[in-house]
A and B are shown apart, each in its own frame.
Chain A
Amino acid sequence: MRTILFIISLAIGAVLTAQQNPTVAPAQTRSILIMNATAHIGDGSVIENAAIGFRNGKLDLVADARTIRLAPNAYDETIDASGKHVYPGFIATNSTLGLHELDAIRPANDVAETGSYKPGIRSAIAYNTDSEIIPTIRMNGVLMGQITPRGGVISGTSSVMQFDAWNWEDALIKADDGVHLNWPGVFHKHYDKGKVSVEKVKTYDQQLREIHTFFNEARAYCSVKEPGVRELRFEGLRGVFEGSQKLYVHADDAKSIQESLNFKASQNIQHMVIVGGYDAHLVADQLVANKVPVLLRRLHELPMYAEDDIDLPFKLPGMLYKAGVLFALQNEGDMERMGARNLPFYAGTAAAYGLPYEEAVRSLTQSPAKILGIDDQCGTLEAGKDATLFISNGDALDMRTNAVTHAFIQGRSIVLRSKQTELYEKYKQKYDGKK
């Protein structure tokens, strides 16, 4: 009851301070039990009639409600979620949320630093917890993100954040999870007079040599434990060489992916992830053999070639699943930040085109957690993990039924409001008042 009152007062507060982001939820003090929901665990399994309990921000119970007995006061609060669905919080990988606010407004843009080789560029410190876009994303179940800098050859270092925080420090789930390398295109697109022509990049070999040189020099530098003269550019790759950070290679076409895998071998990179991967299905065996997962490019896009199956982008997740490739979904591209709230529906499309439903859930939960290296902490509904989860009235992967009623980040009950709902209510009042 106290919670409810609190939420109401918050709502009023929000209306008074119209168009402000909702207040960050305080740490979980009261334990919560969600009963009778269909629990999508995130690892591919599902529990009908689940009992899910969490306290102090951590899950301590995930079980079939019919198989357990609980003391009446085992949890401070019980949410009856009969007929509803519970999911682990969805993770937006390769995201620029918090790095930009309004696409056309240059001062709001912190997405891409200038320059070519800049592993030391860190997204975490530019991440704007007060972005008005983030609350709108949470309302569809997306509660965490890998915030990724863009541009150049090595664009910088990403960090994994949760979406309810006072500042970037508080938001961090995993700082500096990996370095992002944009594989030089074998082909580049050239726009002219409404036509797109794709031509072989003339400097491809040159660019490749530069990347090798940079990595060779950086490795040589990093093999000295405490260098006398410090070189910040090389310093940024130390974690990659030591295996504590991943190397995310952004590549789409088969040749680039193959070359990336060769690069992994020749540079002895321990953890590599392909980001993009339009052609990943053509080189799936090699990806599996090299244990390289994929953050798959956005599903809701047109095929690259007129000859491709018209539903090829929709089918890719199912194809990668069948081939045994570990993958997660992401949505880099036009309007990606505000569009991140549609990520659940990407998974829905994947499920409609050949990916088993629970695998579709997994592609936004356990799989990205594994790929980002946070699976010991989140990504599944398992006792001991963060209580980062949400309740939806219906299937959260279908826009027809996605209706998030509760969302928790590390046990904290977050406020499901946004600038957009404020405006909606404000103008609803205008018209309701007229009636």
Chain B
Amino acid sequence: MRILSVWLSLLAAVVVQAQPTFPYNGILPKDVTSVAFTHATLYMDYQTRLEDATLVIEKGKIVAAGKTVSIPANAVVIDCKGKYIYPSFIDLHSDYGLGDAAPAKGNEGGPRMRGGSGNESPKGAFGWNDAINADYNAALNFTCKEEAAKELRGIGFGAVLTHKMDGIVRGSGALVTLGSQPNQSLLNPMASGHYSFNKGTSTTSYPSSLMGSIALLRQSYYDAQWYSRGGSSEERNLSLDAMNTLALRPSFFDAGDKWNVFRADKVGDEFGIQYIIKTNGTEYQRLNDIAATKASLIVPLTFPDAYDVSDPYVSRLVSLDEMKHWEMAPSNCAMLSAQKISFAITSHGLSERAQFWKNLRKSVKRGLSESDALKALTYTPAFWIGANNELGSLKAGAWANFFIASDNIFNESAILHENWVQGEQFVIDAAKTIDLVGNYELKLPKHTYELKVKEVEGKTKASIQHVKPGKNDDGTAKMDTLNYTVSITSVNELLTISFDASDEFYAGMLRLAGDISSDRASWSGRGQDAAGKWLEWSAAMKGKNETEAKKENGEKRKENETAEVIGDVIYPFTAYGSKERPKAETVLIKNATLWTCEADGKIENGQLLIHQGKIVAVGKTVDASKYPGARIIDAQGRHVTPGIIDEHSHIALASVNEGEQACSAEVEEARVVWPEDIDIYRQLSGGVTCAQLLHGSANPIGGQSALVKMHWGGNADDMVVDNAPGFIKFALGENVKQSNWYNDGTRFPQTRMGVEQLYYDHFIRAREYGIANVLALEEAGLKGVTRQNSSLAIVNSPRVDLEMKTLWEILQKQRFVTCHSYVQSEINMLMHVADSMNFTLNTFTHILEGYKVADKMKAHGAGASSFSDWWAYKYEVKDAIPHNGALLHEQGITVAFNSDDAEMARRLNQEAAKAVKYGGVKEEDALKFVTLNPAKLLRIDKRTGSLAAGKDADVVIWTDHPLSIYAKAEKTFVDGICYFDSERDAALRTDINNERARIIQKMLNAKGAGEPVRTPGFKDKKHFHCDTLDQTSQGISFK
């Protein structure tokens, strides 16, 4: 049986299924045969493998598959002895067939200019924001793209879920095969809904930050709810219509970074949606947290190249996490699988498709089972998209989507020969069906050579070794071993061989042509020698030894891989992370000078007991008899203070300013806390235990703050303080007026006068919103209205408006304001606004002219969180003085000193000392500026801020007087957990060095082995200040 010729003829035999409704020009071809693939190893599904089995397909579908399948009479039979047949793969993350460029806004699907925050009027009955493309329909834009399809088929894919990767709501996705006929390929035109946090090409200025994207997506869901409850009678909005249609389909979220997985999942939870989340391959870095989301993941196989670390100075640009990720990325799938996290694999993001198999096989070497790998490419994606009867297996009735391989596809040498899509044959690598590998006797007229043909990484390599007798200089006989590299190519069954001989029989290039015998055991033909003389040649196979050797090599390589040492995941996944996070301890601190920040004042030679995250007792002596296991710390000569609290910080955030609109009350910093910021650890080293992470000052009404404790190594939820009162950032002055922008601004307000009006407008609207809400609820309650029995109240109830809701919370005294402010006029103004709207401004932050209106602030009841000695960085701080804190303090105002600066935050104790220096505040009171007072301003003084029994064990042990420049934090406890310890810090430094050294050696080896390497360059985050703009570099570095 000559397999090859049958396969070739089949190409003509298979009739591409025609569209019945289409007219046909010519004699109509009909699909009247079936195809039987016999003697194959069949993967019925990811876990069922049948040897010597038969697969029968007809009219694009699988008719039967199994060991006892009878072959229909009309079948074309293909002998697949030795071949492997797998259901072809499904990629759920694709934009196949939708055009190369993102569709231009304003043209696609009718007029789409929908206005922004400017003055453009909306065109078309769509929503206001271009990033919400709910109405985009992938199916309407789909067509078969042969180039792209060919690439995907070439690595085993047969179907993809395609969607437009642009915008926050990306519209519907279509399930399509990789066949050649759109009408056949489109399996499900409305298969899915797609979402992301990336606004993409949207020209609407809002959102400009991650937290803005989150808020916009949430608001869109709420708007859609309102719309379906009856909002459509007020406004026809095709975007919201489409949002509701999408919500009925499986929802796919393109999240990327692991932290975005949690952010997306949280949005999903709010609306009862479990997203299927596309990741970026870093999930192994937080496996337990990922598992806890219960989200299903779509995982890429993008593994980074090694860095060229041959220069010791330049290699410093490669961060530890980049090094570790290089090493660990290939283990991601194996680790997800071991954690029983449900995932599918996508080929998306690979710079070249050839990496797919390399990386998938690498994943398998790292411990992903072959069946789990297959599952993630067949069963799982098919199941999620509701197509498991059609795709992902070889069961009868499914689409004839499968590929044929030369071997178990996880073997390095396996070759993908053909990929069949809906019964349509696509040849990938047919030439490889002729196996030339072996040892041959190559017989030429003058001599018979030993020819060895091997296969190395899919390429045929041939060589001849010839021993030539010769003479040494002294005349004795010797043997010279000559190695000829032989070029050998085969096209179908025709061979071309050439090599450059230089021995006693032939000299110069020999060129041979011939063909392969039907049993493939021998070759024969004619050729020419170097002189152009024709000759006859033949070759006979002596054995297949090289194939064995090849396999041995493969196995040896496999052993090497298993022996590979892989580092540990550290928490957080950056420098100064550790394998095990420290735990809460029972600790008795003795012989310390305790600065209680309470009525007790300073206790010399005091004791402090910590248990289960709380301070149990503080005093001259404490009863620790109940805690015999307590770790005793002798703090002789040491000072102990409450943890430093930074009222104004921008560390540990993925975004700071949603600066496009004058009011962005809807955005929340808590949703973008970034727990891997090295500054968390650095601040622990300066005794900081707690910080308010504030929105920036680009707008009069900024976003909601996150109150965090420095749980280094935890996730965002670990850091965000539970049940803490909500805060929001306001801002006044030059930043909100955009005074120091390079160009003149156009956004309202541009003067302090406009700022006042903006506040009134928003608070009055918020009051109306709140009252309407309350009325609607009361009405619904009074009349016993429920969703079921009357739609009236629900129709009339206002939509959830996240912006207004937040402002209403302020009016209800459920949320508190920290206001960025400098000059006395505006401070006074805002207090008038608050007084007239019947709420109190909790804190003025910066407040550098607070000393001018301290009496008024006292009367209003506002606190102050200031800088110790900053001034002269812009016009509005020309009158700032370092005595500000002291003057405010003397007027009875609760005063804090804050950082607004990632560096200074770790020296806040020194900043407090400046209140003593400038203005003569008592030392114990000055320390309160960075402990108890910020706790009061943040309304968490009942639980932290001082050393008192029952409070959180946020405690610092200092080597010296805490207000002195010579004081260093020796230990910093957060909720009783010692996150910073100077001794442990020294050990971590060694760990970092050792781990880097180990991986650098490995990278150098990789480079030596010829793997591609990247030039080092490092990426880290920008240190945020108040007016750092998130997605532009226009931020000016003034405070």
**A residues with CB within 8 A of B:** 101-105, 132-133, 187, 191-200, 253-255, 279, 282, 300-303, 305-307, 309-311, 334-335, 337-338, 341-342, 345, 348-349, 351-352, 397-403, 420-421, 423-424, 427-428, 431, 434
Contact = CB atoms under 8 A, between A and B. Distances in A.
A345 B887 contact: no
Interface string B248-285: 00000000000000000000000000000000000000
B870 A335 contact: yes
Contacts of A132: 872
Given A305-B319, A338-B869, A399-B965, 18 more contacts: A102-B875, A102-B877, A102-B878, A103-B872, A104-B875, A187-B1017, A194-B656, A196-B1020, A197-B1018, A199-B1017, A255-B313, A305-B1018, A306-B1020, A348-B965, A348-B966, A351-B965, A420-B871, A420-B883
Contact of B1022 (A196, A255, A345, A434): A196
Given A194-B1031, A197-B1017, A105 B875 contact: yes
A197 B318 CA distance: 11
B54 interface: no
B917 A431 contact: no
B964 A400 contact: yes
Nearest to A311: B685
A196 B313 contact: no
B882 interface: yes
A189 to B, nearest CB: 9
B483 to A, nearest CB: 42
A269 B873 CA distance: 38
A194 B1022 contact: yes
Given A102-B873, A310-B682, A194 B654 contact: yes
8 contacts: A187-B1017, A191-B1022, A198-B1019, A310-B682, A310-B985, A400-B961, A423-B881, A424-B919
Contacts of A133: 872
A134 B1019 CA distance: 38
B874 A345 contact: no
B920 to A, nearest CB: 10
Contacts of B576: 306, 310
Contacts of B871: 338, 420
B678 A195 contact: no
B1037 interface: yes
In order of increasing CB-CB distance, the 7 nearest A-B pairs are: A104-B874, A348-B965, A424-B883, A306-B678, A103-B873, A306-B575, A420-B881
B681 A310 contact: yes
A403 B919 CA distance: 11
A133 B875 CA distance: 14
A431 B890 contact: yes
B658 to A, nearest CB: 13
Interface stretch (B595-603, B628-636, B847-855, B1002-1010): B847-855
Contacts of A424: 851, 881, 883, 887, 918-919
Contacts of A434: 855
A101 B873 CA distance: 8
A352 B982 CA distance: 14
B965 A306 contact: no
Contacts of B1023: 302
A370 B685 CA distance: 35
Contact of A345 (B316, B910, B1021, B1024): B910
A194 B916 contact: no
Nearest to B683: A310
Nearest to A300: B903
B984 interface: no
Interface residues of B, number: 79
Contacts, number: 169
B1021 A195 contact: yes
Contacts of B740: 104
B574 interface: yes
Nearest to A256: B313
Contacts of A403: 917
B996 interface: yes
Contacts of A348: 965-966
A399 B881 contact: no
Interface string B146-179: 0000000000000000000000000000000000
Contact of A302 (B682, B870, B1030): B682
A338 B870 contact: yes
Contacts of A198: 317, 1017-1019
A346 to B, nearest CB: 9
Given A197-B1017, A424-B881, A402 B910 contact: no
Contacts of A345: 910, 965
Given A306-B320, A420-B882, A104 B1038 contact: yes
Interface string B575-586: 110000000000
A306 B1030 contact: no
Contacts of B877: 102
B903 A302 contact: yes
Contacts of B320: 306-307
B1036 interface: yes
Interface string B880-920: 01110001001100000000001110010010011011110
Contacts of B682: 302-303, 310
A351 B878 CA distance: 33
Contacts of A101: 872
